[in-house]
Amino acid sequence: MTGTVKQWVRRADAAGGPLRRVQMGNALSAFGSGFTMPYMFVYVDQVRGLGSLAAGMVFTVFALAALAVLPFTGRGIDRYGPRPVLLAGAALAAVGAFAFGQAATAPTLLVSSFLFGAGITACQPALATMIVRSTGRAGRSRAFALQFTLVNLGMGIGALVGGQIVDPADPASLTRLFTIEALTLLGLALVAGTARVPQAEPVPAAGHGAGQGQGRGLRTVLKDKAMLRLCLLAGLIFFTCYGQFESGVAAFATDTVGTAPSVLGIAIGANALTIVLLQMVVVRLTERRRRTTAMAAAGVVWLGAWTAALVAGLVRSDALAATVAVVAVYALFGVGESLLAPTLGPIVADLAPARLLGTYNAAHALVKQTAIAVGPAVGVLLVGAGTWPLYLLAMTACTVLIVVLAVRLRGHLTPAQDNAVVTVAQVRPVVRELQTAA
């Protein structure tokens, strides 16, 4: 753990035991996810011998589970609080993960995948709500950034350790992985699910449509124009980056560029290392800057990543140059992710009325899961068809749109929601003008 991360953990400690426990649970759960997520396809396709079609159906059902449970998850958080929802979600996910490791037929794998996906999905808005309720507005960005760092660190270590255990010729090795994942989910329930977070604040959130309080649940979200624009931007972000990270970009690197799996692992490790090293520095740099500016900057950095991908495709006959380009792609993705971590979650929290915080977090998670489900299908389809230049062009166009939408979102947020700080230097000229006019 780097010195910067240690400093942030100490600040989380100062914020209170509940936040510390939530962050520890996040890291533990991420470690388990890193154990299993990269190897689910291999497990279904090769270990169980059911083929790539069945593996694709497993991922589809995993994503559909999110669409099925998230509308009820937000309502449950707002009515009963985030802890009961987190406990139920972690238990459901643990059952699904354990059953997935034991399943050997397509029907049992699909049922297990649904339980697994539904439980994991229910935990996300519950954890986000617990973070918001455990922090004030000033420390919210730092808390979400620390969560993002610990999740990436946990997933990176989990994937590294899991890769040493996985043996496609030995089904028992994969069964052990999913059993360990089930245990980490129970650990999440034990550590974070027992944290006593403060109750919802009695004051409404500042905002255009969020504070009006008309309608209930998702109807209120649909009336909130700022939230709808944020969801559109978030959907594009998750489709273009996170939805391609382990699918379209990985397929492009291995199938088109000819990158070896070991090199791809190094590239993914470079992504995680970039986030761990830069996240806290980036948060300090963005603390007094608009959140929309940080989101637009992330888009600009990702344009550099797609440019590096184009270079990798053009120089793929040169193994060394192509390898450097592929590693650069993943590292640049990490820089952009670091810029996004302290922005999306806090904006959702600032837009949401206190009584509907769970619903707003669930709506954001619903957009995220949908985009992550659609993104791989589009990316793998384009790369698999041999139209990799079209794939890179499409992703570049989406990234340009991210920059545009981030800048346009600024006009629909209050200064507080956009983290726009009015400095003393800016105020004094206005005071002088008023004095002169008087």
- Mean pLDDT for 205-210 is 43
Look at residue 424 and tell me whether its pLDDT is greater than 70: no
The residues, any chain, with a CB within 8 Å of residue 234's CB and separated by 6 or more, are 344, 364, 367, 368, 371
Residue 172, domain member (yes or no)? yes
Is the torsion defined by CA of 78, 128, 154, 302 positive or negative?
Answer: positive
- Judgement on whether residues 158 and 218 belong to the same structural domain of the protein: no
Q: How many domains does the chain have?
A: 2
Domain membership flag for residue 283: yes
Same domain, 278 and 168: no
- State whether 169 and 316 are in the same domain: no
Both 93 and 184 in one domain: the answer is yes
| 58 lies in some domain | yes
Q: Are residues 214 and 297 in the same domain?
A: yes
Highest mean pLDDT among 184-198, 321-335, 417-431: 321-335
Give the separation between CA 294 and CA 301, rounded to whole angstroms. Answer: 10
49-53, 266-270, 355-359, 414-418 — most confident range: 414-418
The amino acid at residue 130 is M
Q: For the chain, percent helix, then strand, then coil, each to nearest 5? A: 85, 0, 15
Distance CA 109, CA 189 (A): 24
How many Å is the Cα radius of gyration of the chain?
22
Confidence class for position 408, pLDDT limits 50, 70, 90: very high
d(CA 183, CA 17): 23
Q: Which of 160, 195, 230 is the last residue of a domain?
A: 195
What confidence tens digit (pLDDT) does each residue in 104-130 have?
A: 899 999 999 999 989 988 998 888 888
Sequence length of the chain is: 438
Range of the domain at 274: 205-421
- Residues 215, 293, single domain; the answer is yes
Pair (156, 273) in one structural domain? no
Higher pLDDT, residue 333 or 37 = 333
One domain, residues 189 and 270: no
Local structure of 424: helix, strand or coil: helix
pLDDT one-digit tens code per residue, 308-318:
999 999 999 99
Q: Are residues 298 and 381 in the same domain?
A: yes
Q: What pLDDT is stored for residue 16 in this prediction?
A: 56
Residue 245 confidence (pLDDT) above 80: no
Tell me the three state secondary structure of residue 16. Answer: coil
Query: Domain for residue 427, yes or no?
Result: no
- Structure confidence at residue 216 as a pLDDT band (50, 70, 90): low
pLDDT for residue 199:
67
CATH code for position 371: 1.20.1250.20
Residue 328 forms part of a structural domain = yes
Rounded to the nearest 5°, which phi and psi values hold at 360?
-65, -40
pLDDT tens digit string along 180-205? 999 999 999 988 878 777 766 544 44
**CA torsion through residues 147, 152, 153, 159, sign:** positive
At residue 217, the pLDDT reads 67
User: Could you tell me which residue, 37 or 259, shows the higher pLDDT?
Assistant: 259
pLDDT digits (tens, 9 = 90+) for 284-307: 888 888 999 999 999 999 999 999
The whole-number pLDDT of residue 201 equals 52
Q: pLDDT tens-digit profile of 38-60?
A: 677 778 877 888 887 787 788 77
Same domain, 53 and 92: yes
Q: What is the DSSP letter of 198?
A: P
- Within a domain: residue 438? no
225 and 97 co-located in one domain = no
The whole-number pLDDT of residue 160 equals 73
Q: Output the pLDDT for position 94.
A: 95
Where is the domain boundary, 169, 195, 221? 195
301 found inside a domain: yes
Residue 19 has pLDDT above 50, yes or no: yes
The owner of tokens 């929309």 is 292
Mean per-residue pLDDT, 227-237: 94
Q: Which of 195, 216, 247 is where one domain is finished? A: 195
Same domain flag for 91 and 220: no
